[in-house]
A and B are shown apart, each in its own frame.
Chain A
Amino acid sequence: MSVIGARVKRLEDRELLLGEGRFAADYTFEDQLYMRVVRSPVAHGVLGEIEIDEALALEGVIAVWTGRDIAHLPPIDFRLTKIQDLPLCRQHVLVQDKVRYVGDPIAVVIADDPYVAEDGAELVFAHIEELPPILDATASPGEFVPGVSTEPAVVEKSYGDLDAAFAGAAHVFECEFEVGRHTGVALETRGANVLYNADSDRLEFFGAAKVPHFNRLAIAGMLGLEPEQIHLFEGHVGGGFGVRGELYPEDVLCCYAALELKRPVKWIEDRMENLMAANHSREQVYRLRAAVDETGYILAVDNEFFTSQGAYVRTHGATVSDLSAAMLPGPYMVPAYRAKGRVRLTNKTPCGTYRAPGRYESTFARERLVDVIAHRMGIDPVEMRRRNLIPPELMPYSRGIANHGTPLVYDSGDYAKLLDRLMDYIGYDDLRAELAARRAQGELVGLGLGYFVEKSGLGPYDDVRVEIAGDGRIEVITGVASIGQGVETVIAQICAETLGVDYQTIRVTHGQTDRIERGMGAFASRVTVMTGSATADAAGQLRTRLIETTSERLQLPSENLTIVDGWIRPIGETEGPSMSVGDAAAAYLDDHGGQVVSVEATFEATHMTYPYGIHLAIACVDRETAGIELERIVVAYDIGRSVNPTLVEGQIAGGMAQGIGGALYEEFLYTEDGQPICATFADYLWPTAQEVPDIESIVTEDAPSRTNPLGIKGAGECGINASGAAIASAVGQAIGDPGAITRLPISPLRLNEILNRSL
């Protein structure tokens, strides 16, 4: 039986179920010190004197540092999508001159107890001359700080003859859509524990996540260390979602402190810090114009959008805006297109990526636009979509623009077929009639959908080393990271399939910079595609080597041998001469020497691979409370080839739950003077089991990827992509005005205003 595609159970679970996980806060070392960050209490102001004497006098406080003490450290560099290098856009690890958002780090206190470190931080007083904050990302550009515009970058992409399309259009539609500020908010807050190992003269960073190899080089560069003087170690990670694991000021401060004090320094942020200092995301405004012919076929889209970047441009550079611009046309032909994405600095928490960055937002805008066009032209919304889908015969389909630094080419897909499958599954005609009947009875109930194209498998490379010892132990050493998504299981499945062994005998190593020279990490739904492909390659080579060794020992032709359940024997036979893979490895080592048989492989990709899907929601609105009940959620998704369907469905359900949060509940709101008012879980509302219905998923394999030999596409972001779009669409239909919802989240307050207006 093939183990790729099987619903096997996870290898990761045991430690986590027993309470033996190793999350960032779980490491404690001898002589441990604790760091607490003092943060700006105002959104914008000139930083004056910082009084630290009282804090320094507190028993147990070891050090207090301000921006002056670390002025020699450069600001944190971009990791992706670099914009014109304006150092003043980037964040110093401690404020040098002006505070730019509530939460901006201005000092650190190091103490021998975490409670004392907090006491010390309370005693630090910063004199700040307040300035009025800039909070509106759509206002005309001005000066953010001296020498830096509020618009440090504009992302532009276009193809086709836009002017001709608009000139010849039967209809032109103009709409504005907005997605509120929210973010990943993992249950584990950020944290690190860094120690200086005197024996090896190196820093050891525990609690790494997402991109340990990149961060290793970045931290080394900032602190003036050689790369071999620092290693990062990933334990368990309590959720990533794009946010956790990027390089933040606190990570560098922890390393700096450990190096200076030559004692382990631990930093665990509290939830309030997490909600105002870790990357925010989303907050975009789209102004769309569409040229449409008399049949509802979209001829062109002109897309000007604004991203409220927050106070600094962090490691992601202009990634979110780049993806928004490239992915807005989605599954539709749209023969002419122009995007102008304005990155705007505001006195809010800096933004980065959050699961389906630029797609959650642009899919919302596109699908709302499609609903508006369909409604105004009297076309059924499903039919409207069908008329505009890219047909399968045009695959692979190039838009002639770049996406995330790679050519945007949809490698495979049959978009209409997936729509048909979904419509069949739900019985669309009957369901539509049923909902119309309920509406006729006075219920506010509606069905909405959002079609989306995802992207996954971002390159450029990933390395894998597969090793087998003479006792049969197999290890796959990767340069990726695990953020809870099941990397170990999936990579073990791919290795097991190729090698012919039980996946449970395989150990998968990730996030350890001392085990493999380079690695790209876990983001952009890339791990299964990139590391999976490299694993299949390395395991295939190892298989050949073990079979050849067995062939020599057993005097059988290697082409007649196979590996089944860890035994190398003639094809089709279950008895007779055979060798276990461990014995074959031992034989190989006898001949060639060494501790393990080791094979390395690299998988490179110049293009991403593009899965696609549809989210469908049925929502019922309470006229009195403006509350929204999600009666049903269905996700149809073509993944090309599924390595573990149970884990794919888990990604869908989890992503959808977050998408529901962004659609209905989660938003970082600010007062007029830039104070964040959603900095606790009492105010930042994340969906509980009461708000998330059971999510039905239909996972298909109609369109295997053409970018990798296994035909696989990623699953990480497919659950969230069109969730906001579909829910907004359903609520619009429910209240009898399909174009009414132009902004997420659809809070009761906003929906009440709409209901008062339209009912």
Chain B
Amino acid sequence: MTTGSAKHEIRLNINGVDHDVIVDARRTLVDAVRDKCGMTGTHIGCEHGVCGACTILIDDEPVRSCLMFAVQAQGRKIRTVEGLAIDGEYSPLQQAFHDHHALQCGFCTPGMLMLSTWLVERGTPVDDEELREVVASNLCRCTGYQNILKAVRSVLDGDKP
């Protein structure tokens, strides 16, 4: 038997809903969320923790879900892009991304949204330097970042569309 292939029954709480799944110990959290729980909104870009496409919130902190095993997330509060909108109504960040043309292909978008959701919810002042530093955690290949920065800034500033 391959190392890490022993099966574990775990319960993942994603966006407030429990998912009982069986995973091998080596299964990454992002693979479990996508393949076992069927929630494909979270994307995989590099699987080595650089690109941030798989960023989700665990206990309200941003985490690279490719760098964590599913078994490590048991009992934690997992939040993904699918949990942002309420009854189809965009969250303020989703609305701002739409308003500011902050996405093109949309592949980095879920990770960017979760990262900036954390920043907005943190509730402490964010200057432009810190905003750039935080957004620089994740990679985007389409937008050149400026519209992402504008979108997040508008929510931080409480702008109304």
Choose from A17, A19, A268 the contact partner of B80 (Cβ within 8 Å): A19
- State whether B109 touches A241 (Cβ < 8 A): no
- State whether B104 touches A681 (Cβ < 8 A): no
User: What's the nearest-Cβ distance from chain A to residue B136, in Å?
Assistant: 4
| 0/1 string, A679-698, CB within 8 A of B gives 1 | 01110001011101011000
User: What's the nearest-Cβ distance from chain B to residue A475, in Å?
Assistant: 22
Known: A271-B51, A484-B106, A657-B141. 6 other contacts (CB 8 A): A18-B82, A186-B107, A238-B106, A690-B136, A692-B144, A695-B144
- State whether B41 touches A115 (Cβ < 8 A): no
Query: Which of A8-16, A306-314, A365-373, A704-712 sits within the interface?
Result: A8-16
Complex interface: chain A residues within 8 A of B27 (CB): 115
Choose from B39, B85, B106 the contact partner of A16 (Cβ within 8 Å): B106
The answer, yes or no, to whether B65 is at the interface (CB within 8 Å) is: no
User: What's the nearest-Cβ distance from chain A to residue B50, in Å?
Assistant: 4
Most buried by A among B26, B43, B101, B105: B105
| 0/1 string, B68-81, CB within 8 A of A gives 1 | 00000000000011
- State whether A238 touches B107 (Cβ < 8 A): yes
The answer, yes or no, to whether A304 is at the interface (CB within 8 Å) is: no
- State whether A653 touches B146 (Cβ < 8 A): yes
- State whether A16 touches B144 (Cβ < 8 A): no
Choose from B47, B101, B138 the contact partner of A271 (Cβ within 8 Å): B47
**13 pairs, CB–CB < 8 Å, chain A vs chain B:** A18-B81, A19-B39, A25-B34, A25-B43, A188-B107, A238-B106, A239-B104, A239-B142, A484-B106, A484-B107, A653-B145, A654-B144, A680-B46
Most buried by A among B98, B99, B142: B142
The answer, yes or no, to whether A573 is at the interface (CB within 8 Å) is: no
Least CB separation from B4: chain A residue: A115
Complex interface: chain B residues within 8 A of A690 (CB): 132-133, 136
The answer, yes or no, to whether A517 is at the interface (CB within 8 Å) is: no
Residues facing B in A170-208 (CB within 8 A) are 184-189
- State whether A689 touches B113 (Cβ < 8 A): no
Q: Using A19-B41, A25-B40, A186-B105 as known contacts, say yes or no to A656 and B48 having CB atoms under 8 A apart.
A: no
- State whether B50 touches A681 (Cβ < 8 A): yes
A606 and B107 CA atoms in complex are apart in Å by 35
A-B pairs with lowest CB-CB distance, top 3? A19-B41, A484-B105, A16-B106
Residues of A within 8 A of B (CB-CB), count:
59
A interface majority secondary structure: loop
Most buried by B among A9, A115, A186, A270: A115
The answer, yes or no, to whether B124 is at the interface (CB within 8 Å) is: no
Complex interface: chain B residues within 8 A of A9 (CB): 98-99, 101
A153 and B23 CA atoms in complex are apart in Å by 53
A241 and B139 CA atoms in complex are apart in Å by 16
A647 and B110 CA atoms in complex are apart in Å by 20
The answer, yes or no, to whether A110 is at the interface (CB within 8 Å) is: no
Least CB separation from B5: chain A residue: A115
B interface majority secondary structure: loop
A397 and B54 CA atoms in complex are apart in Å by 50
User: What's the nearest-Cβ distance from chain B to residue A649, in Å?
Assistant: 8
User: What's the nearest-Cβ distance from chain B to residue A260, in Å?
Assistant: 24
Choose from A13, A188, A189 the contact partner of B103 (Cβ within 8 Å): A13
Choose from A189, A688, A695 the contact partner of B146 (Cβ within 8 Å): A695
The answer, yes or no, to whether A381 is at the interface (CB within 8 Å) is: no
- State whether B140 touches A18 (Cβ < 8 A): no
Complex interface: chain A residues within 8 A of B10 (CB): none
The answer, yes or no, to whether B155 is at the interface (CB within 8 Å) is: no
A186 and B108 CA atoms in complex are apart in Å by 10
Complex interface: chain B residues within 8 A of A680 (CB): 46, 48, 50
A692 and B138 CA atoms in complex are apart in Å by 13
| 0/1 string, A83-116, CB within 8 A of B gives 1 | 0000000000000000000000000000000111
The answer, yes or no, to whether B44 is at the interface (CB within 8 Å) is: yes
- State whether A187 touches B140 (Cβ < 8 A): yes
The answer, yes or no, to whether A28 is at the interface (CB within 8 Å) is: yes
- State whether A187 touches B53 (Cβ < 8 A): yes
The answer, yes or no, to whether A20 is at the interface (CB within 8 Å) is: yes
- State whether B46 touches A271 (Cβ < 8 A): yes
The answer, yes or no, to whether A501 is at the interface (CB within 8 Å) is: no
Complex interface: chain B residues within 8 A of A26 (CB): 34, 40
- State whether B141 touches A239 (Cβ < 8 A): yes
Choose from B39, B94, B138 the contact partner of A17 (Cβ within 8 Å): B94
Most buried by A among B24, B88, B106, B107: B106
Q: Using A187-B45, A657-B145 as known contacts, say yes or no to A23 and B35 having CB atoms under 8 A apart.
A: no
Complex interface: chain B residues within 8 A of A657 (CB): 141, 143-145
- State whether B105 touches A239 (Cβ < 8 A): yes
Q: Using A28-B35, A188-B43, A690-B133 as known contacts, say yes or no to A656 and B144 having CB atoms under 8 A apart.
A: yes
User: What's the nearest-Cβ distance from chain A to residue B7, in Å?
Assistant: 12
Complex interface: chain B residues within 8 A of A25 (CB): 34, 40, 43-44
Residues facing B in A265-318 (CB within 8 A) are 268, 270-271
The answer, yes or no, to whether A733 is at the interface (CB within 8 Å) is: no
A58 and B81 CA atoms in complex are apart in Å by 37
Least CB separation from A653: chain B residue: B144
Q: Using A10-B98, A239-B142, A690-B133 as known contacts, say yes or no to A650 and B109 having CB atoms under 8 A apart.
A: no
User: What's the nearest-Cβ distance from chain A to residue B16, in Å?
Assistant: 15
- State whether B106 touches A689 (Cβ < 8 A): no
The answer, yes or no, to whether A237 is at the interface (CB within 8 Å) is: yes
User: What's the nearest-Cβ distance from chain B to residue A714, in Å?
Assistant: 15
- State whether B109 touches A16 (Cβ < 8 A): yes
Residues facing B in A714-750 (CB within 8 A) are 719
